């Protein structure tokens, strides 16, 4: 599997995520975790192999269809990728606005979620004024506000303290309980060991899934 | 009240500073061009209406005694009044001719010795189709020195002049529109480049091209409407000054610069037209650029 004509990044990877499943993705740096995630959240189309998401062969899917698929995917980026000119509230609301949710229905949902992740006092704060942990929580709120069918999170607890980490994992479990398929990429073996979820292990040229929940 | 929500920080990329002023200059030039075209056309129409249904007979001065001049005038009037389709044939008095010559000869009595032609103002019945060539030949044969002027020479040239002014005005407006569109293309491309990361993120969270293009469109429209209104205001002020100047030149052949309600409606549409062009240009530019994203 690759996403550029002259460079093969992923090879021999074959897996199927059941709807409503919860997986960790782990492996040493440089093994293609981020590339695999990018394929999953449709930042790239694979130049070889087959990527099927929501029963769509992504390589053959018309470009105009992709935004609709992306709206069903929540992404937590490792570097947060918040919009610095928007407040925490507007960053979280972005997904809903893009999904054409009515403005009067947005406010309450956003405030409630930011309250839940402990940012009620930072609703109007711009990202440059927030700590990394706070930014990460805003990024997570943005990813889950639209109740996505698939949630892809890259090191979502990497910048938060243990208490917030537990709360975030509880949020992901809750989303998973109501049907969201969750994939969490992490180096944190301790975090993985706290949960009995299957783990996708990506090595240099190897791939396997351990655990069987 | 409607308020556009901008996810893209388009107001912070510098386009706010230069686009409205460029559009203001464009709309200013277009306003003057369109107003000039309309003023000239109105004058040409006025002149044409004034000449319609009239002919002039000129009897050139000769060295013959004054009594002969009277006889020649009577003969010409007699022919004209007997001609079918002629409603009236009235000699133009020497006083009236003197007034017509005032712009060139100044006020005061024209010396009797000056060989001024005699003129007859001929009014035709409405819808009359006279054979001007035949009537002219008849007059020339019967009255030495008589010449018929059906104004065709002037009306043709005036109409041609009016059309040329219209074409030139349209051409200038087209150039201005192209230059305005070019400015918007440049500003939009710069905006796309500056906000590339934000646009990529919006794509990743499911934004459709139309959503992103909509933000650029709304921004371009807002900037060009602002500029357009300023340009129209400056244009209106300039036209006001020109109107005052032309009105002060009495008896002038210059077209008077008066802005009728109809003309105002046309001029008021210019900022809207600028807004529309900016909107469409921004949409096409963004749509093309976004096609290159996955």
Tens-digit pLDDT profile for residues A124-162: 999 999 988 899 899 999 999 988 999 999 988 877 788
pLDDT at A35: 87
Are A83 and B7 a contacting pair at CB < 8 A? yes
CA–CA separation, B289 and B199 (whole Å): 11
Task: Assess if residue A58 is contained within a domain.
Answer: yes
pLDDT at B102: 75
Specify whether B123 is located in the same domain as B36.
no
Specify whether B181 is located in the same domain as B44.
yes
pLDDT at A171: 84
Specify whether B41 is located in the same domain as B169.
yes
Can you give the pTM of this predicted structure? 0.73
Task: Assess if residue A3 is contained within a domain.
Answer: no
Task: Assess if residue A6 is contained within a domain.
Answer: no
Supply the angle between the helices A132-144 and A103-116 in degrees, to the nearest 10.
130
pLDDT tens digits for B188-218?
Answer: 998 888 888 899 999 999 999 999 999 999 9
pLDDT tens digits for A160-176?
Answer: 788 878 888 888 898 89
Given the structure tokens 């930011």, which residue do they identify?
Answer: A114
Mean pLDDT (chain A, rounded): 87
Specify whether B213 is located in the same domain as B113.
no
ipTM above 0.95, yes or no: no
Task: Assess if residue B2 is contained within a domain.
Answer: no
Task: Assess if residue A17 is contained within a domain.
Answer: no
- Our CA-based measurement puts residue A66 at a distance from the nearest CA of chain B, in whole angstroms, of 8
pLDDT at A181: 94
- How far is the first Cα of chain B from the last one, in angstroms, to the nearest whole number? 36
Cα–Cα nearest to B33, from B163, B164, B173: B173
Residue B225 has pLDDT above 90, yes or no: yes
A76: CATH: 3.40.50.300
Task: Assess if residue A5 is contained within a domain.
Answer: no
Within a 10 A sphere around the Cβ of B10, how many other Cβ atoms?
A: 22
Three-state DSSP class for B120? strand
Specify whether B277 is located in the same domain as B172.
yes
Which pLDDT band, with edges at 50, 70 and 90, does B64 fall under? low
Task: Assess if residue B149 is contained within a domain.
Answer: no
Task: Assess if residue B56 is contained within a domain.
Answer: no
Specify whether B138 is located in the same domain as B163.
no
Quote the tokens at residue A154: 């890259």
Q: Does A43 touch chain B (CB under 8 A)?
A: yes
Contacts A63 to B, Cβ<8 Å: 291, 294
pLDDT at B80: 87
Domain total of chain A: 1
- Our CA-based measurement puts residue A193 at a distance from the nearest CA of chain B, in whole angstroms, of 30
Specify whether B116 is located in the same domain as B188.
no
Mean pLDDT, rounded, for A41-69: 89
Q: Does A101 touch chain B (CB under 8 A)?
A: no
pLDDT tens digits for B17-42?
Answer: 889 999 999 999 999 999 888 888 88
Can you give the residue range of the structural domain that contains A139? 22-210
* CB-count burial class (<10 Å; 0-12, 13-18, 19+) for A140: buried
Can you give the residue range of the structural domain that contains B77? 61-144
Task: Among B9, B11, B197, B205, pick the best mutation site for testing chain A contact (most A Cβ within 10 A).
Answer: B205
Contacts A98 to B, Cβ<8 Å: 7, 202, 205-208, 211
| φ, ψ (nearest 5 deg) of residue B275 | -60, -40
Which pLDDT band, with edges at 50, 70 and 90, does B1 fall under? very low
Among B144, B163, B180, the domain boundary falls at B144
Specify whether B69 is located in the same domain as B188.
no
Among B85, B109, B144, the domain boundary falls at B144
Task: Assess if residue A127 is contained within a domain.
Answer: yes
Q: Chain centroid to CA B203: how far? A: 49
Domain total of chain B: 2
Residue B252 has pLDDT above 60, yes or no: no
Among B144, B179, B204, the domain boundary falls at B144
Cβ-Cβ pairs closer than 8 A, A with B, add up to 55
Residue A213 has pLDDT above 70, yes or no: no
CA–CA separation, B34 and A151 (whole Å): 59
Residue A2 has pLDDT above 70, yes or no: no
- Among chain B residues, CA nearest to A139: B205
Residue B246 has pLDDT above 80, yes or no: no
Longest dimension (CA), chain B: 102
Specify whether B183 is located in the same domain as B285.
yes
Is the distance from CB of A181 to CB of A150 less than 8 angstroms? Answer: yes
Contacts A69 to B, Cβ<8 Å: 206
Mean pLDDT (chain B, rounded): 84
Task: Assess if residue B128 is contained within a domain.
Answer: yes
Which pLDDT band, with edges at 50, 70 and 90, does B48 fall under? confident
3-state secondary structure chain A: CECECCECCCCCCCCCCCCCCEEEEECCCCCCHHHHHHHHCCCCCCCECCCEECCEEHHHCCHHHHHHHHCCEEEECCCCCCCCCCCHHHHHHHHHHHCCCCHHHHHHHHHHHHHHCCCHHHCCCCHHHCCHHHHHHHHHHHHHCCCCCEEEEECCCCCCCHHHHHHHHHHHHHHHHCCCEEEEECCCHHHHHCCCCCEEEECCCCEEEECCC
More confident residue, A206 or B32: B32
Is the distance from CB of A139 to CB of A80 less than 8 angstroms? Answer: yes
CA–CA separation, B282 and B294 (whole Å): 20
């Amino acid at each position: 599997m690759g996403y550029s004509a002259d460079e093969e990044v992923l090879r021999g990877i074959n897996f199927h995520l059941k709807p409503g499943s919860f997986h960790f993705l782990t492996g040493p740096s440089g093994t293609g975790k981020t590339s695999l995630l990018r394929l999953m959240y449709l930042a790239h189309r694979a130049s070889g192999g087959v990527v099927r998401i929501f029963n769509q062969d992504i390589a053959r899917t018309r470009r105009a269809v992709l935004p609709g698929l992306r709206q069903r995917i929540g992404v937590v980026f490792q570097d947060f990728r918040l919009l610095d000119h928007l407040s925490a509230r507007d960053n979280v609301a972005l997904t809903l606005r893009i999904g054409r949710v009515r403005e009067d229905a947005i406010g309450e949902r956003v405030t409630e979620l930011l309250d839940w992740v402990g940012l009620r006092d930072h609703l109007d704060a711009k990202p440059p004024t927030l700590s990394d942990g706070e930014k990460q929580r805003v990024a997570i709120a943005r990813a889950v506000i639209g109740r996505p069918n698939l949630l892809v999170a890259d090191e979502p607890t990497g910048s938060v303290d243990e208490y917030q980490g537990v709360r975030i994992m509880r949020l992901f479990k809750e989303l998973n309980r109501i049907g969201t398929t969750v994939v969490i990429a992490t180096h944190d073996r301790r975090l993985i060991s706290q949960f009995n979820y299957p783990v996708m292990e990506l090595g240099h040229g190897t791939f396997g899934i351990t655990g069987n929940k | 009240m409607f308020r556009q929500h901008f996810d893209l920080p388009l107001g912070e990329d510098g386009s706010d500073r230069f686009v409205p002023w460029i559009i203001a200059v464009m709309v200013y030039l277009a306003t003057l061009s369109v107003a000039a075209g309309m003023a000239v056309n109105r004058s040409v129409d006025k002149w044409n209406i004034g000449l319609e249904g009239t002919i002039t007979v000129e009897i050139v001065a000769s060295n013959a005694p004054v009594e002969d001049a009277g006889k020649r005038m009577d003969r010409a009037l007699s022919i004209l009044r007997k001609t079918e389709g002629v409603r009236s044939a009235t000699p133009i008095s020497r006083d009236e001719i003197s007034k017509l010559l005032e712009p060139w000869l100044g006020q005061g009595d024209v010396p009797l010795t000056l060989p001024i032609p005699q003129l007859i103002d001929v009014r035709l019945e409405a819808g009359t189709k006279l054979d001007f060539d035949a009537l002219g030949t008849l007059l020339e044969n019967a009255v030495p020195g008589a010449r018929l002027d059906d104004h065709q020479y002037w009306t043709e040239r005036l109409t041609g002049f009016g059309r040329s002014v219209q074409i030139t005005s349209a051409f200038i407006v087209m150039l201005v529109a192209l230059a305005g569109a070019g400015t918007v293309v440049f500003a939009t491309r710069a905006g796309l480049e500056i906000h590339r990361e934000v646009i990529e993120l919006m794509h990743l969270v499911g934004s459709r091209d139309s959503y992103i293009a909509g933000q650029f469109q709304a921004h371009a429209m807002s900037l060009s409407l602002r500029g357009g209104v300023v340009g129209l205001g400056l244009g209106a002020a300039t036209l006001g000054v020109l109107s005052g100047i032309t009105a002060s030149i009495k008896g002038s052949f210059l077209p008077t610069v008066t802005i009728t309600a109809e003309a105002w409606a046309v001029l008021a549409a210019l900022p809207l037209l600028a807004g529309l062009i900016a909107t469409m240009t921004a949409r096409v530019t963004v749509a093309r650029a976004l096609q290159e994203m996955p």
